[in-house]
Chain A
Amino acid sequence: MQHNEVIRSMKTVTLTLTNPSELLLEGQSITPDNFAGKKAAEIATLDVWEGKQKGPLGKYFTVAGDGGATAADTRIILRGDCTRVKRIGQQMTAGEIIIEGNADMYIGGWMKGGKIHVKGNVDSFCGIGMEGGELIVDGNAKHHVGASPRGEWRGMKGGLIRVAGSVGNDTATFINGGTIIIGGDADIHVSTHGEGGTVVIKGDARGRVGGQMVKGDIYVYGTIENPLPGFKMVGEVEQEVDGETALFAHYIGDLGERHPISRGKTVYANLYTRI
């Protein structure tokens, strides 16, 4: 497969967290873009922050392997407990990051391309402001998955976020494009203020699904504990979602919100619940 060929040509940098920080670490330099073209020793000199204290990455991690020639040729594997390492993969444009365990906030934040695979859980704000690429979380994610940063009305624009477990609140706030697929349940607020994109919740949603939403699609396979009064059922449809076809009840909304008119017809957001 072509995909495998690409992977084979990649160079791998393995970071092992051997000397954890006392408080936290901000690791925005841990991206294929920053590692590309650098030898292990140079990578070890990149900055990470613990509060106001700036230190070299090598103070906390052992670094094995060199970066590839470009970001796309660089794969980063993180070992050790990264539960308190933030901002891994922030703004990355290409390449791959594999986090063997948990990771902290902002994983894949403002990501433009490439792929991140987290085998454990992540904290809040993962995939925030995402524009492209793929973010896969095998465990759970906390709040603001694929949401927009504070005040930004141009939220997630593209890419794919897949969380196998459950997520906290404020998923996909101001989503404008791209796809988010949650394997488990979602807490309150899904696609609030959304104006595009697709969110799939395969478990239950607690409520406030599609509030103040202008455009875009949401699928909920389980139940919505508190549905919004601004959504109105308009029929039943069969749809293919994430590779399977199923029958859904189709709602439009949020009727309380403004909606654009396209070719003489009002465009609403769509909410589909599986029957």
Chain B
Amino acid sequence: MSELLIKNGFVFDPLQGIKGDRMDIGIKDGKIVETSALENPKTIDAAGMTVMAGGVDIHSHVVGPKVNIGRLFRPEDKLFKSPHKSPTCSRMEMGSSVPSTFKTGYDYARMGYVFVNEAAMPPLHSPHVHEEIRDTPIIDNAAMPVFGNNWFTLEYLKNNEIENNAAYTAWLLRATRGFGIKVVNPGGSEAWGWGLNCVHIHDPVPYFDITPARIIKGLIETNEHLGLPHSMHLHCNNLGNPGNYTDTLESLRLAEGYTPKNNFGREQVMHVTHLQFHAYGGDSWGNVESRSKDIMDYVNAHDNITVDMGQVTLDETTTMTADGPFEHHLRALNNLKWANVDVELETAAGVVPYIYSPKVKVCTIQWAVGLELALFSKDLMRTFVTTDHPNAGPFTRYPQVITWLMSRAARDETMKTFKWLDRTIESTSIDSIDRELTLYEIAQMTRAGPAKALGISNIYGGLAPGMDADVAVYPLNPEDMPSDPAAIEKAFARCAWLVKDGVVTVKDGEIVAEPAKRTIWVDVKVPDNAQVQRDIYEHFLRHYSVKLDNYSLFEEHLHNPRVIEVNAAQ
């Protein structure tokens, strides 16, 4: 069948420790193969270019109800802001900060990405999530159901019933065709059901007699009990507030003493997402300052934790999170329109437009905090590029983020536009950091690292024979890197080639094919658990507004699945 040879590129594959060697990559029937296995391949000339595995995004909000509210309630995010349809794409591409599903797929592909993990799926809405996944072309998707405010979880963990919680978790992953355990503002979004919050990890959750700390630990235990590919994935309490770094450190410490148990090569027990929003000192917006050093010192010293940046890109964007109380708080700061959806027994969500302006001191401090986290990192296999799309900025700005990381000059250029430059420098360390990341480190942060943390590094994130033939070729010559940082950004925005599943999908930055995408989910076998079955039956009988039999995703609404099987029955 179809064979491809990507010739003479500079290959960066951290999973195999390949650091820019000039190599050929062989592809046959959608998989990477030894070049010797090819008979009569078509050739892609990658001479003078950078070759990496297809990008892997560990945390992005791309499909589902709150993303869609973000689209629906922001017509002004489209008017005069949408590109004209590309003649090579089958569908229109509308939107900017919250793109349509089609634009999402196309833009990720143009940047050389092939896998995107939807960061928060409200379980009740899983059919919606899967409908949007169907309409997101090219890229493979997984979606993490949220557990941190789920009544079953709260009840089981209150009594330390890890086995029951594990059985429920396995059931919910199957019911929603979900990927892993997402935790958003544990306890806080349940409290939001009453207009309240859990700001600190020892604040009790109203009526549930449990604390966020206990929820976090219990979910780590559940995750390792099941041996899921990914770890517990945490959005900490007290997001976005001055002084919150102490809460973050306390949350990180909860992982101490836990070791990963899984067959997927994952080495962390806790992934902490959009760390930028959680690394602030000071006690008011007047004296807010960066505490990224304290946070990263801790992360650097504890290898059972991975993190992603949540980099602020200084754009007008749309914030959206299952952290309902945070969005309510934010709407009081900027007085803009506010959407909220509390989801029965499970979670909440809020959506508010937001403008990160280089003229606003807090925004430029946030910008510095995000970059510092990566630049202070001693292990970029555990520190990933994200913008918490679209919260700190749209994912389409990854090329700019990469450029800031790779170029001090690019950072200086941006800082020149700051109105409060001196105050920003005073309150952060950014100006004292000269570090410029290498292409190898960028490959760690954008494919190898996230794939490993997600427990899918046997399929995605690398170029070893047997893995999916997802290969991105960027028009960047590592031996002759451009002096103009804008050229780096341009190269990462539009790859020269993207091969997805062995199909040439992007050429010269344009989509040329739309190969079938996949839905990745995790199916865990657990022992039969009569009590959990009874609890599920009871809650559906009394408290849900839909019938149990209509809640689990029907097989016909799951599109092109790729199941990862886990046996936790023994």
Contact = CB atoms under 8 A, between A and B. Distances in A.
In-complex A–B contact (CB below 8 Å): yes
Interface of A: 110, 149-153, 258
Contact of B336 (A110, A150, A153): A153
B329 interface: no
B73 interface: yes
Given A149-B79, A152-B79, A258 B335 contact: yes
B479 interface: no
Contact of A149 (B73, B75, B336, B337): B75
A151 B335 contact: no
Q: Is the interface of A mostly helix, strand, loop or mixed?
A: loop
Contact of B76 (A110, A152, A258): A152
A46 to B, nearest CB: 17
Nearest to A153: B336
A153 B335 CA distance: 10
18 contacts: A110-B80, A149-B75, A149-B76, A149-B79, A150-B75, A150-B76, A150-B79, A151-B73, A151-B75, A151-B76, A151-B77, A151-B337, A152-B75, A152-B76, A152-B79, A153-B76, A153-B336, A153-B337
A152 B75 CA distance: 8
Q: Which 5 A-B pairs have the closest CB atoms?
A: A152-B76, A151-B75, A151-B76, A150-B75, A149-B79
Nearest to B334: A153
B98 to A, nearest CB: 12
B74 interface: yes
Given A150-B79, A151-B77, A153-B337, 15 more contacts: A110-B80, A149-B75, A149-B76, A149-B79, A150-B75, A150-B76, A151-B73, A151-B74, A151-B75, A151-B76, A151-B337, A152-B75, A152-B76, A153-B76, A258-B335
Contacts of A149: 75-76, 79
A258 B80 CA distance: 30
Nearest to B337: A153
A265 B141 CA distance: 52
Contacts of B79: 149-150, 152
A36 to B, nearest CB: 21
Contacts of B337: 151, 153
B27 to A, nearest CB: 41
Interface in B71-94: 73-77, 79-80
Most chain B C-beta atoms within 10 Å of own C-beta, residue among A110, A153, A258: A153
Contacts of B80: 110
A47 to B, nearest CB: 13
Interface of B: 73-77, 79-80, 335-337
Contacts of B335: 258
A150 B76 CA distance: 7
Nearest to A195: B335
Nearest to A91: B80
A65 B79 CA distance: 33
Nearest to A214: B335
A256 to B, nearest CB: 14
Contacts of B77: 151
Contacts of A152: 75-76, 79
A22 B464 CA distance: 62
Contacts of B74: 151
Nearest to A150: B75
Contacts of B336: 153
Contacts of A258: 335
Nearest to B73: A151
A260 to B, nearest CB: 9
B268 to A, nearest CB: 41
Contacts of A151: 73-77, 337
Highest count of chain A CB atoms <10 Å: which of B73, B74, B76, B336: B76
B81 to A, nearest CB: 11
A240 B74 CA distance: 39
A255 to B, nearest CB: 17
A153 B355 CA distance: 13
A57 B452 CA distance: 58
A222 B34 CA distance: 85
A257 B73 CA distance: 21
A19 to B, nearest CB: 28
A149 B73 CA distance: 13
B10 to A, nearest CB: 45
A150 B74 CA distance: 8
Nearest to B335: A258
B79 to A, nearest CB: 6
A72 B76 CA distance: 29
Contacts of B76: 149-153
Contacts of A110: 80
Nearest to B77: A151
A152 B77 CA distance: 9
B127 to A, nearest CB: 27
Most buried by B among A150, A151, A152, A258: A151
A56 B77 CA distance: 30
B92 to A, nearest CB: 14
A39 to B, nearest CB: 27
A150 B75 CA distance: 6
A199 B337 CA distance: 24
A152 B353 CA distance: 11
Contacts of A153: 76, 336-337
A150 B336 CA distance: 14
A153 B336 CA distance: 8
A201 B77 CA distance: 32
A150 B72 CA distance: 11
A252 to B, nearest CB: 19
Nearest to A129: B79
A149 B77 CA distance: 11
Nearest to A148: B76
